[in-house]
């Protein structure tokens, strides 16, 4: 995907100003090269006053142009970073699947995407700078023109090869990073058990091996960048040197004036400066393009389901079971999924939420909010209020009433601004589950999915949750359990066998 294609597909046209600015800056740079040649020619002809004034003017204009472009680049990048960071919440709607792009990478993608206007300006500048060959031809004839075009054409395959290698390594780096992140989280989660078994070095050595492979890949990417830079520097140096040699012979033979010779050399140099800047940034261009693709990736959209239907599964076959499941959940329905451990209940729930791929069939969901709670659901580091409201403005009395209705009473649940430990440490599993149910109800979800949570609740806690669900008749509940369900009178029962 290219920046242009991205824009034509309905994305914002904020890059248009970058193209215009790039074209104007390139034309101004060529004009300044001609002005510099005129100044040097005057100095060589001992018209020092005029020559020095023109040199100073050229330096002033070039400095002003550089400062203007830098300021524009910083401001455009700042505006885009603010814009993208504001819209990132749409990418956290669903959990990340295995080996998928890390959500943390989106923060890096914002920084890469914010450079897109500057990179587009370089592209437009490089394209317009090719008009400099016309100036070279007028000033020095066809031979410098042929030399310049030939070396530009020679550089193109190197750019393309380096770009393909860079993209392949970026994809491999992303895959290895995802593997490293997942393995680090697994080892940290099981650190107490590994420490008790005296096997801490097992996880550490595995993480070290994955991390080392990531470092090796990063070094290879740096080498590709250096190779590309060397190629561009070599080709531009050769081109300028050959053009200087040709116009030098023209000066000796009396076929060229000093002014025309200087114009040919300086414009050739300026042409390659623009092209070189664009060429050596192909890594950043690839990063920006991938970042735009990631950020423009539309949030998960669900088919509009008519009526009060919230979830419809048709001939669904999950990765865990060959059985086809056809299911329709409407507002107020109570659906119970039972089966022994390992039969695929959790996989079915994740497939219904489109968190996992399926073998066959399809799932449609409405845009209504969905709450999901399992025994391993986590809390955030923050206050009790923040964990339940997730930033919503909810009155204190409503929060306390909801917590009390679920049996969450006592000192720890009275102070809403009390800090909770990370992942709810210090709370029992049953308290954490009920707190997450409260969060879903405060969010006014239309569908609540409970994945085998009844087993972590004692008798009184189950009775409290059942009472709350009974007092919310419009809420659809989908529960999966081995035994002891919360739903006592489900409207639909689905049994899954091993």
pLDDT in tens, 370-395: 888 888 777 777 788 888 888 788 88
Strand blocks (E) in 187-318? 309-317
Query: Tokens 């939420």 — which residue?
Result: 353
Mean pLDDT of 180-207: 71
Average pLDDT, stretch 186-198? Answer: 69
Between 223-237, 276-290, 316-330, the lowest mean confidence (pLDDT) is in: 276-290
Distances 374 to 63, 115, 263, 429, 479 between C-alpha atoms, Å: 62, 41, 73, 10, 10
Domain boundary among 268, 296, 324: 296
Q: Domain tally for the chain?
A: 2
Residues, the chain, total? 498
Instruction: Assess whether 287 and 323 both reside in one domain.
Output: no
Residue given tokens 């740079």 in the structure block = 29
Q: What is the pLDDT of residue 53?
A: 93
Q: Where are the alpha helices (DSSP H) in 305-391?
A: 345-352, 384-389
Task: Give the whole-angstrom CA distance, residue 335 versus residue 493.
Answer: 6
- Percentage of the chain modeled with pLDDT above 90: 10
Mean pLDDT of the chain: 79
**Res. 424 pLDDT band, cuts 50 70 90:** low
261, 31 contact by CB (below 8 A): no
- Indicate whether 91 and 201 sit together in one domain: yes
The answer to whether residue 147 sits within a structural domain is yes
Same domain, yes or no, for 128 and 43? yes
In this structure, is residue 105 part of a structural domain? yes
Residue with tokens 């599964």: 313
* Distances, alpha carbon 7 to alpha carbons 1, 10, 296, in Å: 10, 6, 10
Same domain, 210 and 338: no
- Do 389 and 350 share a domain, yes or no? yes
Which residue is listed with tokens 């290698």?
Answer: 165
Q: SS3 of 142, please?
A: helix
Residues 275 and 352 in one domain: no
Q: How far apart are CA 294 and CA 290, in angstroms?
A: 6
326 and 262 in a common domain? no
Distance CA 369, CA 448 (A): 9
Residue 295, pLDDT score: 62
Contact (CB, 8 A) for 467 and 324: no
- In terms of DSSP bridges, do strands 447-451 and 360-365 run parallel, antiparallel, or are they unpaired? unpaired
Query: Contact 442/399 with Cβ under 8 angstroms?
Result: yes
Residues 6+ apart with CB under 8 A from 385: 399, 416, 417
Lookup: tokens for 344: 């695929």
Answer yes or no: is 380 within a domain.
yes
Would the pLDDT of 498 be above 70?
no
Q: What would the two tokens of residue 361 be?
A: 């069939």
CA distance 116 to 19: 11
- Domain containing residue 384: 309-495
Q: Are residues 385 and 334 in the same domain?
A: yes
Give the SS3 label for residue 370: strand
Q: Band of the pLDDT at 477, cuts 50, 70, 90?
A: very high
Q: Report the distance separating Cα 231 and Cα 243, nearest Å.
A: 18
Helix (H) or strand (E) holding 419: strand 419-420
pLDDT at residue 11, rounded to an integer: 44
- How far is 209 from 211, CA to CA, in rounded Å? 5
- pLDDT at residue 86 greater than cutoff 70: no
pLDDT digits (tens, 9 = 90+) for 116-140: 788 888 888 888 888 888 998 898 8
Task: Give residue 229's pLDDT.
Answer: 67
Strand partners, 226: none
Residues 32 and 158 in one domain: yes
Is pLDDT above 80 for 326? yes
Answer yes or no: do 225 and 359 share one domain: no
> Any idea what the CATH number is for the domain that residue 368 is in?
3.40.50.300
* Last residue of one domain, picked from the residues 233, 263, 296: 296
161 pLDDT above the threshold of 50: yes
Instruction: Please determine, for residue 60, whether its predicted confidence score (pLDDT) is greater than 90.
Output: yes
User: In the prediction, which pLDDT does 423 show?
Assistant: 60
Question: Would you say residue 302 lies in a domain?
Answer: no
Alpha-carbon gap, residue 72 to 95, rounded angstroms: 37
Higher pLDDT: 314 or 204? It is: 314
H or E stretch including 18?
helix 16-44
Confidence of residue 75 (pLDDT cuts 50, 70, 90): confident
Query: 328 has which bridge partners?
Result: 312
Tell me the C-alpha distance between 25 and 354, whole Å. 49
Judge whether 301 lies within some domain. Answer: no
pLDDT, mean of residues 147-176: 74
Whether 238 shows a pLDDT value over 90: the answer reads: no
The sign of the CA dihedral 416, 417, 420, 426 is negative
The confidence score (pLDDT) of residue 99 equals 43
Q: Verify that 327 and 240 share a domain, yes or no.
A: no
Tokens at 232, concatenated = 């561009």
pLDDT in tens, 437-451: 999 999 888 899 999
Confidence check: pLDDT of 61 > 90: yes
Q: What is the pLDDT of residue 448?
A: 92
154 domain-assigned: yes
Q: Tell me how far apart the alpha carbons of residues 323 and 488 are, in angstroms, rounded to a whole number.
A: 25
Closest CA to 461 of 493, 490, 483, 428: 428
Domain assignment of residue 304, yes or no: no
303 in a structural domain: no
Residues 58, 32 contacting (CB under 8 angstroms): yes
Q: What contacts 302, CB < 8 A, 6 or more positions away?
A: 364, 365, 366, 367
The number of beta carbons lying within 10 Å of the beta carbon of residue 337 is 28
End-to-end CA distance of the chain: 45
- Tell which residue, 157, 160, 159, 135, has the closest CA to residue 148: 135
Q: What is the CATH number of the domain that holds 230?
A: 1.20.1560.10
pLDDT level of residue 82 (50, 70, 90 thresholds): confident
Which of 274, 296, 318 is at the close of a domain? 296
Round to whole Å and give the CA distance between 47 and 45: 6
Same domain, 95 and 199: yes
Take residue 3 and report the two structure tokens written for it: 């920046």
């Amino acid at each position: 995907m290219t920046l242009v294609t991205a824009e034509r597909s309905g994305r914002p046209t904020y890059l248009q100003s970058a193209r215009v600015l790039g074209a104007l800056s390139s034309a101004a740079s060529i004009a300044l090269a001609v002005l510099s040649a005129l100044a040097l020619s005057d100095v060589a002809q001992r018209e020092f006053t005029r020559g020095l004034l023109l040199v100073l003017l050229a330096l002033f204009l070039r400095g002003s142009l550089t400062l203007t472009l830098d300021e524009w680049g910083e401001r455009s990048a700042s505006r885009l970073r603010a814009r993208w960071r504001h819209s990132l919440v749409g990418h956290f709607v669903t959990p990340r699947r295995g080996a998928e792009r890390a959500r943390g990478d989106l923060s890096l993608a914002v920084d890469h995407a914010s450079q897109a206007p500057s990179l587009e300006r370089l592209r437009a500048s490089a394209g317009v700078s090719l008009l400099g060959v016309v100036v070279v031809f007028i000033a020095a004839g066809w031979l410098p023109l042929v030399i310049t075009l030939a070396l530009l054409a020679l550089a193109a395959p190197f750019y393309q090869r380096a770009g393909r290698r860079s993209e392949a390594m970026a994809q491999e780096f992303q895959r290895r990073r995802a593997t490293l992140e997942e393995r680090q989280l697994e080892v940290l989660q099981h650190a107490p058990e590994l420490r008790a078994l005296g096997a801490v070095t097992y996880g550490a050595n595995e993480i070290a091996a994955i991390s080392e492979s990531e470092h090796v890949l990063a070094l290879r990417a740096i080498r590709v960048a250096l190779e590309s830079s060397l190629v561009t520097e070599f080709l531009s140096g050769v081109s300028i040197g050959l053009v200087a040699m040709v116009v030098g012979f023209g000066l000796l033979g009396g076929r060229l004036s000093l002014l025309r010779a200087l114009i040919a050399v300086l414009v050739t140099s300026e042409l390659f400066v623009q092209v070189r800047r664009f060429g050596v940034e192909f890594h950043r261009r690839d990063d920006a393009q991938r970042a735009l693709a990631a950020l423009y990736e539309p949030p998960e959209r669900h088919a509009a389901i008519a009526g009060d239907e919230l979830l419809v599964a048709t001939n669904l076959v999950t990765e865990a079971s060959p059985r086809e499941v056809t299911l329709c959940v409407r507002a107020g329905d109570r659906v119970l999924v039972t089966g022994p451990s390992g039969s695929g209940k959790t996989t079915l729930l994740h497939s219904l939420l489109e968190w996992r791929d399926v073998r066959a069939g399809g799932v449609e969901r409405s845009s209504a909010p969905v709450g999901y709670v399992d025994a391993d659901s986590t809390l955030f580091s923050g206050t009790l209020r923040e964990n339940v409201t997730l930033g919503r403005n909810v009155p204190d009395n409503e929060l306390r009433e909801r917590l009390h209705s679920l049996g969450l009473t006592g000192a720890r649940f009275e102070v809403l601004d009390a800090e909770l430990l990370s992942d709810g440490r210090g709370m029992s599993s049953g308290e954490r589950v009920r707190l997450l149910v409260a969060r879903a109800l405060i969010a006014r979800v239309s569908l609540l999915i409970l994945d085998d949570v009844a087993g972590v609740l004692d008798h009184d806690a189950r009775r409290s949750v059942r009472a709350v669900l009974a007092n919310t008749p419009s809420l659809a509940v989908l529960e999966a359990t081995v035994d002891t369900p919360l739903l006592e009178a489900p409207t639909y029962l689905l049994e899954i066998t091993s």
